[in-house]
Structure 1
Amino acid sequence: MTPEILARITAARAARDLSDLARQAVGTTAETISPAERIRRARELRQMVNAYVDLVVLSEALAGADWQEIAAALSPQRDPETVRAEYADAVAEWSGFAEADADDEGVEGLDAWYARHREDHDPDLEKPVADLLNRH
């Protein structure tokens, strides 16, 4: 498993967790809690979104995407060299992962989670995460 694939699987886990937390937020809409607690929960969701974006950027960088393209996707005003510098440590760390360091534990669980939550407008894929393992 390449560092890129490991990062993509980690991003998929983050997306799953984000989806679950967002669904819970809908379920607690009428819950009687303090404004501070409602805001804290919303901030937790935002932090998870930011972590997910970072993982997607990391996986694209590990796949060899151009930093100019990455920076433009993050914001048209972002400088590619600044963005590259922001992610340099993470890219270096993940690039150092050897195939032996990675495992595919949880891939089947992510695919099963997707199958349970998939709606008609979602991509019609049976194993969207496991398919990554067959790419390289």
Structure 2
Amino acid sequence: MRPEILARIAAARAARDLSDLARQAVGTTAETISPTERIQRARQLRQMVNEYVDVVVLGEALAGADWQEISAALNRRDPETVKGEYEDAVTEWGALPEGDLEDEGVEDLDGWYTRHREDHDPDLEKPVADLLNRH
């Protein structure tokens, strides 16, 4: 499996985990907890969003998107600075031997999507497994 596909699968995992945590946050809205704990939970969500953005950027960089486009999408001005922030991860993921990359968890992600899909979501049966069919 190509590293950019693996990064996109990692992004799908991150999105799933973020969704689950956000749903839990809604469920605890009336819970009596300290302001500190409520803020810490919100910060955990923000940290997960940042990690999700990072892995999406990684996948796009590995797929060949140029740093000008990535920087613009991040609403950042200096592509060289953005490239510098992600360069080590791109190099590390890009050096992974394709034979060593597993598609572990793809069926679980597709199952999760099917269980949680709502009418306004894309009507796809296997949105993550479909990545494996790309050449």
Who is 2:83 aligned against?
A: 84
For residues 39-89 of structure 1, give each alpha carbon's deviation from its aligned partner in whole angstroms, at most 9, with x where no partner exists: 0000000000000000000000000001000000001x4200100011000
Regions of 4+ moved over 4 Å = none
Query: What is the rounded CA distance, in whole Å, between the counterparts of 1:133 and 1:55 in structure 2?
Result: 18
- Per the alignment, residue 64 of structure 1 pairs with 64
**C-alpha distance in structure 2 between counterparts of 1:28 and 1:101, whole Å:** 41
Taking only the aligned residue pairs, the percentage that are identical comes to 81
Q: Once superposed, what is the RMSD of the aligned Cα atoms? A: 0.6
1:32 and 1:101 map into 2 onto residues whose CA distance is: 47
SS of residue paired to 2:40:
helix
Other-structure match for 1:111: 110
Measured against aligned partners, the alpha-carbon deviations of 1:19-55 in whole angstroms (never above 9, x if no partner) come to 0000000000000000000000000000000000000
Question: AA paired with 1:126?
Answer: E
TM-superposed deviation, 1:100: 1.9
TM-score normalised by L of structure 1: 0.98
What TM-score do you get using the length of structure 2 for normalisation? 0.98
Tell me what 1:37 maps to: 37
* Structure 2 runs not aligned, ≥5 long: none
C-alpha distance in 1 between matches for 2:62 and 2:54: 12
Q: Which AA in structure 1 matches 2:23?
A: R
Please state how far the C-alpha of 1:126 moved relative to its aligned partner: 0.4
Map 1:86-101 onto structure 2 (within 5 A): 86-101=85-100
Question: Which position in structure 1 is the counterpart of 2:126?
Answer: 127
Report the counterpart of residue 18 of structure 1 in structure 2.
18
**Aligned-partner SS, 2:125:** coil
